[in-house]
Amino acid sequence: MKNNPDIFSQTFNLPYSALTIGGRLKMDWLLNVFQNAASTQCHAYGISGFDMAEKDLKWVVAQYRIQIHTPIDWMTPLVVQTWRAPWKNLYEVRQFRLMAEQDHRLETSSPLVTASSIWILIKAANNRPVRLAPNMPAALMKSPVQEPAELIKPDADLAHVDHECSFPVRFLDLDLNEHVNNRVYVRWAVESLPGRLNFEYTPVTCDVIYQKEALPGDTVQSRISMSFENDLLFTDHIIIRQSSKEKLAHLMLTWKKTGIRHLFHTKK
């Protein structure tokens, strides 16, 4: 790929902590990679969360759309790339791709993982969105995206509920904004799949809409509906605050049947 100064790149090896049973990639770990890359680029631009906090502002993510195209093995050398652009002074559209290091400069190479997201700037005092231009360097407002991000529009309610479970908000779920970090909602959705299915299927796509914040002291309830088609499982998730029944997030995942790979065997 041609060098583009607006694309931030960071090289690393796929760590052991990114893998779950059978050597599968953890979907929620990807959000950590994306957030870290975005935060590093924003820091260079002077618009990081810490920079915005000085203006009584916060960045919040409104949605993610993630697709895992190819399985990745432990210690694979990788490059995460991210780039951003404003949309009509309303929100930031931020794109991500995860590439094999040896392929990331090739025009014909295919990414291992792709993702798009929408980030909104809000006033910390009242959580109301604000316009970007008064709070961003002018240079960052000169190249708006030509098309808006594709908005995820799920059904208002689940067609049916096949399974549900509850999760307490734990201290380590919280981020600098003092609410549950966006990756945790994905973990809750994955964990709400009945155990036997998590052994048989692995997620390959994930759409998330964030609607309200889960806060310290909350218990959330994750409800899930499921449908099967050949070797695919489609799940629709609603996460609510248990005390008030407010909807916090809506997620839609596609899972592929892979079976379990036993990587380690006990020697007798």
State residue 174's pLDDT score: 97
Query: Which residue has tokens 């809506």?
Result: 250
- Is residue 3 situated within a structural domain? no
- Is residue 150 situated within a structural domain? no
State residue 39's pLDDT score: 97
User: Higher pLDDT residue, 158 or 5?
Assistant: 158
Both 57 and 107 in one domain: the answer is yes
What is the spatial distance between Cα 177 and Cα 1, in angstroms, rounded to a whole number?
Answer: 36
What is the spatial distance between Cα 237 and Cα 224, in angstroms, rounded to a whole number?
Answer: 5
Specify whether the CB–CB gap between 251 and 193 falls below 8 A.
no
- Is residue 148 situated within a structural domain? no
For the chain, give the mean pLDDT. 92
φ/ψ region of 98 (left if φ > 0, alpha if ψ in -120 to 50, else beta) reads beta
Residue 96 — pLDDT band, cuts 50, 70, 90? Answer: very high
Both 89 and 183 in one domain: the answer is no
| Cross-strand pairs, 74 | none
Average pLDDT over residues 16-45: 95
113-123: strand order across its sheet: 8-13, 77-87, 91-100, 113-123, 57-68, 201-210, 247-257, 232-241, 219-229, 163-168
pTM assigned to the model = 0.92
DSSP 8-state code for residue 70? S
State residue 148's pLDDT score: 72
Candidates 223, 252, 225; CA nearest to 238 is 223
pLDDT digits (tens, 9 = 90+) for 136-187: 999 999 866 667 778 888 777 898 999 999 999 999 999 998 999 999 999 9
State residue 90's pLDDT score: 93
What is the spatial distance between Cα 224 and Cα 220, in angstroms, rounded to a whole number?
Answer: 13
The one-letter code for the residue type at 50 is F
- Is the pLDDT at 108 greater than 90? The verdict is no
Per-position DSSP letters for 27-65, written without gaps between them: HHHHHHHHHHHHHHHHHHHT-SHHHHHTTTEEEEEEEEE
User: Higher pLDDT residue, 146 or 238?
Assistant: 238
How many domains does the chain fold into?
2
- Is residue 246 situated within a structural domain? yes
Q: Considering Cα of 231, then 183, then 34, then 57, what sign does the dihedral take?
A: positive
The helix (H) or strand (E) run that includes residue 222 is: strand 219-229
**Domain of 185?**
163-257
Residue 263 — pLDDT band, cuts 50, 70, 90? Answer: low
- Is residue 180 situated within a structural domain? yes
Give the Å distances, CA to CA, from 120 to 7, 98, 210: 20, 23, 11
State which of 88, 110, 141 marks the end of a domain.
141
- Is residue 117 situated within a structural domain? yes
Residue 268 — pLDDT band, cuts 50, 70, 90? Answer: very low
Name the percent of the chain lying above pLDDT 70: 92
Residue 1 — pLDDT band, cuts 50, 70, 90? Answer: very low
Per-position DSSP letters for 166-197, written without gaps between them: EEEPPGGGB-TTSSB-HHHHHHHHHHTS-HHH
CATH code assigned at 62: 3.10.129.10
Both 187 and 224 in one domain: the answer is yes
State residue 260's pLDDT score: 67
- Is residue 268 situated within a structural domain? no
Both 35 and 118 in one domain: the answer is yes
- Is residue 240 situated within a structural domain? yes
State residue 106's pLDDT score: 67
